[in-house]
Structure 1
Amino acid sequence: MQAKIVVVGSLNMDLVVRTPRVPVGGETLAGHSFVTAPGGKGANQAVACARLGAQVTMIGCVGHDAYGEILRSGLESEGIDCSSVEALEGVSTGIASILVDDNGQNCIVIVAGGNGELSSEHLTRYDAAFQAADVIIAQLEVPVATVEKTLTRGHELGKTVLLNPAPAVGPLPAHWYGNVDYLIPNESEASLLTGIQVDSLETAAEAAQALLDAGAKRILLTLGSQGVLYKDAQRQQHFPAQVVQAVDTTAAGDTFVGGFAAALGEGLSLDEAVRLGQQAAALSVTRAGAQPSIPYRRELKS
């Protein structure tokens, strides 16, 4: 069964500079290269869902500009329904300025542009997509009220709701947790959500428990090279990561979310869905870029 997934979130043009290291304040540093690539956590997750087997609808906003046209056409080329991606006058398309160092680590500055204009009214216009979905995915690169409406409506309709709380800036509103079936933070996001510094499996488990205590149903805490920790009220399990040589970690988390959602929505078990997401994410970090790094289902081991 092919999963039907709605992704509500951001579309950015990524402006990527590869550099030996991140410069310190006031320093000018010679970089290795510069490229533009389609990105945004919402769009990345939509592409990951589509490449990893799902039927996907994207809901978002871009500017009425060249970057917006490129982003929409790129998603459409992946078979993603973009009829609910609106091009707005008087605002730029969102961008992400990304520095990637020689160790494959990245730091990112985001300008929201059209992403900041995605409103609850947009969601109401496209409610039919919510009704047809199996899985609904949200992140935090669009307005908080829009995320809340996404979670609430998904829960009302009885859909499987995933929230990737990124970029996290602090604790989530307490009433959100009951509307989320799977909360999927990484280490830094879990630290910001709970106040617990996540730097080991033990502290990851503490943070996951704190999120359960706050009202979350199920936690998938992604730990980079340390794998994924799953925790709910009855079960805790660590899924070790595949060992690979990282080139660029951009969109690895988004690839995991997309792979997990696609697999879960088509009826695979939680364990199978986690492992498929991990396998896709491991392959993505061996390639440069956000969406360009996301693998297709046929590339994964059966």
Structure 2
Amino acid sequence: MAKVIVFGSLNMDLSVVCGRMPREGETVMGSGFFTNAGGKGGNQAVAAVRAGVETHMIARVGADEFGRRLTDGLEWYGVRCDAVCRAEGYPTGTAVIIRCEGENRIIVDPGANLALGPDEAIADFDAIAEEGDILLTQLECSLETTGALLAHAHARGVRTVLNAAPAFELPEVLYRDLDILCVNETECERLSGVYPADRWRQRDALGFFERCGVADTIITLGRRGSVTMGEGEDAPHLVEAFRVDAVDTTGAGDAYLGMLAAELVRGEGLTSAMEVATAASALAVGKPGAQRAMPTLDEVEEFLRSRRERVRA
């Protein structure tokens, strides 16, 4: 059976709540501190395996306690970690997360996430990949390595998905190796020069990425949902978000991407996969943390059933 292969970052999240953001030179009291396994790569791998598909992780951690805990945690969820190795001389990646008023601010030290070179990543990938698999990656590791792996996977016929986060200027050739590009509003503006504020600007941004060579692009719009350009459609196809009370938005996008990849591996179409991914994201924001907040497929299906029943009532 086809599987999801995630190449990406593994970080230990250090998270704390505060009532308001401190001003320059000011200290404010916080609460609810905890450490939690994170990194976009790790989060998306957990989201995919919780969605019920075989999931492999390609990554590097430091030879330290955080690295051991991150690897053990992924394996506990069921992610296969044969290609997660310890990089001597590097600390494990860390992220400091400040949770304030339902939103978050994040500072990342990538550490060992930058230790994996193109040749190693491709060798790890070739030992795992088969026809029908999906490669899911982000931009928290070396851009050179990410670009080389995307090109190699695309040439092998493996479907490629890039979450362009954090966003920065990308080589033009990289776009042509993408079957699916997923960006949020800020990332969309950074890459295309168009902020997707309305349907017309969304169409302009999606058209930009199409001209760059991307097969399909998804723009996530936060509380408004997500859009893509359906085949033969003149206007973007909108998948509306679900209204929920947000506790912590840290893992929302990663829940979306992991579930999206899992649905695509199962053979679902893009817009159908987006609908299920939207439900996963809605459930994820209802809990604190990242990986611990990723919902199971059963939870997502029950959430969708309850929402449909509510609409019929």
**What's the TM-score once normalised by structure 1's chain length?**
0.95
The CA distance in 2 between the partners of 1:23 and 1:197, in whole Å, is 29
* Whole-angstrom distance in 1 between the partners of 2:269 and 2:193: 31
Q: Hey, what does 2:277 align to over in structure 1?
A: 277
Counterpart code for 2:262: A
Q: Report SS of the residue matched to 2:249.
A: coil
The one-letter code matched in structure 2 to 1:54 is V
CA distance in 2, matches of 1:203, 1:246: 27
Measured after TM superposition, the shift of residue 234 of structure 1 is 3.3
> Which structure 2 residue ranges, 5 or more long, are not aligned?
303-313
Q: What residue is the counterpart of 2:257 in the other structure?
A: 257
Structural mapping, 1:103-118, within 5 Å: 104-118=102-116
For the 8 Å contact 1:212–1:232, the answer to whether it is kept is no
The match for 1:175 among 173, 180, 185 is: 173
Q: How does 1:88-167 map to 2 (within 5 A)?
A: 88-102=87-101, 104-126=102-124, 127-131=126-130, 134-167=133-166
Contact 1:18/1:99 (8 A) holds in 2: yes
The answer to whether the 8 Å contact 1:3/1:262 transfers is: no
Tell me the percent identity.
37
Paired residues of 1:251 and 1:291 also in contact (CA < 8 A): yes
Aligned partner of residue 277 in structure 1, secondary structure:
helix
Equivalent position of 2:194 in the other structure: 196
The separation in 1 between residues aligned to 2:210 and 2:96, in whole angstroms, is: 34
Q: Aligned AA for 2:259? A: G
- Map of 2:37 onto structure 1: 38
Residue 305 of structure 2 corresponds to: none
Maintained 8 Å contact 2:2/2:131: no
Alignment of 1:72-87 (within 5 A): 72-87=71-86
2-side partners of 1:292 and 1:116: how far apart?
Answer: 25
TM-score, structure 2 as length reference:
0.92
Alignment correspondent of 2:185 = 187
- 1:96 shift after superposition: 0.5
Moved more, 118-127 or 269-278: 118-127
- Paired residue for 1:25? 24
In 2, are the aligned partners of 1:8 and 1:139 still within 8 Å (CA)?
A: yes
Deviations 1:21-58 (A, max 9, x none): 22222221111221100000000000000000110110
* SS in structure 2 at match of 1:24: coil
Gaps of 5+ in 1: none
Query: 1:167: Cα distance to partner?
Result: 0.5
Shift of 1:213: 2.2
Rounded to whole Å, the distance in 1 between the matches of 2:208 and 2:270 is 21
Tell me the alpha carbon deviations over residues 204-242 of structure 1, each in whole angstroms, 9 at most, x when there is no partner.
332222222222221111111100011266333011111
Runs of 4+ in 1 over 6 A off after TM superposition: none
CA RMSD of aligned residues (A): 1.5
